[in-house]
């Protein structure tokens, strides 16, 4: 988790503090108990109501949605409860509401699939379909979560490659045939990710 965002690390810390360690701990019933939340189901847009000084929240879920989407809406609203204290979003101005919605969309990926639970499982489950069934959320969110972790791993691998170059006192005069194949592979992946034009000249010479 070295290159995980502050928000992702915060979610993991919060979950561990509430003793949420397994997939079964991510049930809505258990999370409601851990975070003192009541859920009601109504044919209206999902939203939440909570106060700064009150350790309690009410989440309303749109019951017209399929079950997996209802669960994802729950995690979206849970993200508001955890990171957007201040009560009822219906009374906020449009700009702040829009910002909070963008943030909650990302945080919901962390709350529904916390890193300390999700990452060990993806090494065992090799299909999006199996992960979708395990976590009971739409497959598109599973795919997005995996992509986030893959990009973080790539950044970590790139940093390790740079450290390797530094430790060997490499410089611009270094010949490409002196680079370890695994290091060259990492640098090429980085070039595809960020664009070769954004790679430093000294590193570009090694590709």
Give 45 or 4, the one with higher predicted confidence. 45
Q: Which pLDDT score is estimated for 50? A: 86
Task: Give the per-residue pLDDT at 177.
Answer: 59
pLDDT band at 172 (very low <50, low <70, confident <90, very high): very low
Write down the pLDDT at residue 140: 96
Answer yes or no: are the C-beta atoms of 180 and 157 closer than 8 Å: no
pLDDT over 80 at 190, yes or no: no
Statement: residue 188 has pLDDT above 60: yes
What distances in angstroms separate CA 112 from CA 126, 131, 145, one per listed residue? 19, 12, 10
Structure tokens at 112: 């529904």
Phi-psi region of 188 (alpha: psi -120 to 50; beta: other; left: phi over 0): alpha
CB 78 within 8 A of CB 35: yes
Predicted TM-score of the model (pTM): 0.75
Tens-digit pLDDT profile for residues 75-108: 999 999 999 876 555 666 778 788 889 999 999 9
Q: Which CATH number fits domain 6-113: 1.10.10, 3.40.50, 1.20.1300, 1.25.40?
A: 1.10.10
């Amino acid at each position: 988790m070295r290159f995980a965002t502050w928000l992702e690390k915060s979610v993991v810390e919060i979950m561990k503090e509430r003793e949420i360690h397994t997939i079964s701990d991510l049930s809505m019933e258990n999370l409601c108990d851990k975070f003192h939340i009541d859920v009601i189901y109504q044919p209206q847009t999902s939203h939440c109501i909570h106060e700064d000084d009150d350790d309690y929240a009410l989440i309303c879920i749109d019951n017209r949605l399929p079950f997996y989407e209802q669960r994802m809406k729950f995690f979206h609203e849970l993200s508001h409860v955890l990171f957007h204290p201040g009560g009822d979003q219906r009374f906020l101005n449009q700009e702040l509401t829009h910002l909070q919605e963008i943030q909650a969309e990302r945080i919901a990926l962390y709350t529904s699939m916390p890193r300390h639970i999700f990452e060990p499982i993806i090494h065992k489950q090799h299909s999006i379909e199996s992960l979708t069934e395990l976590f009971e959320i739409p497959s598109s969110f599973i795919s997005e979560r995996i992509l986030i972790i893959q990009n973080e791993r790539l950044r970590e691998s790139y940093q390790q490659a740079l450290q390797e170059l530094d430790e060997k006192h490499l410089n611009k005069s270094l010949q490409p045939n002196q680079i370890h194949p695994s290091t060259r592979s990492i640098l090429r992946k980085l070039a595809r990710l960020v664009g070769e034009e954004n790679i430093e000249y000294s590193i570009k010479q090694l590709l």
